[in-house]
Structure 1
Amino acid sequence: MIEISDSLRSVFSAQIEERDGSYIVDVPASEIEHDALAADETYRVAILKSESST
């Protein structure tokens, strides 16, 4: 069982993309617009495998 911290700020799905030798996970603009996250801040990120590749 996974323990989820009370400090969890956001959950969303995204694809990992390769750009210029780095791998990028785009954060939806809605996460910033709804104050779940802030630009120019540092966050810990967990990656979970999706059941499908949509």
Structure 2
Amino acid sequence: MIEISDSLRSLFSAQIEERDGSYVVDIPSNEVEHDTLAVDETYRIAVL
């Protein structure tokens, strides 16, 4: 079983896309619009 931290701020599904030689995970706009995440901040992410 995976242990999920109490500090988890967001959980969503997304596809990994290739753009200009890098790989990108798009953050849903509602995560920023509802102040769950903020632009220009750094976050740790996990891939399950």
**TM-score range relative to shorter protein:** over 0.9
Partner residue in 1 for 2:29: 29
TM-score using structure 1 length: 0.85
- RMSD of aligned residue pairs (Cα, Å): 0.6
Where 1:31 maps in the other structure, the secondary structure is helix
Instruction: Give, in angstroms, the shift of residue 25 of structure 1.
Output: 0.2
Runs of 4+ in 1 over 2 A off after TM superposition: none
Partner residue in 2 for 1:41: 41
What is the percent sequence identity of the aligned residues? 79
Mapped to 1, the partners of 2:31 and 2:40 lie a distance apart of: 13
Aligned residues: 48
Unaligned runs of 5+ in 1: 49-54
Partner residue in 1 for 2:11: 11
TM-score using structure 2 length: 0.94
Unaligned runs of 5+ in 2: none
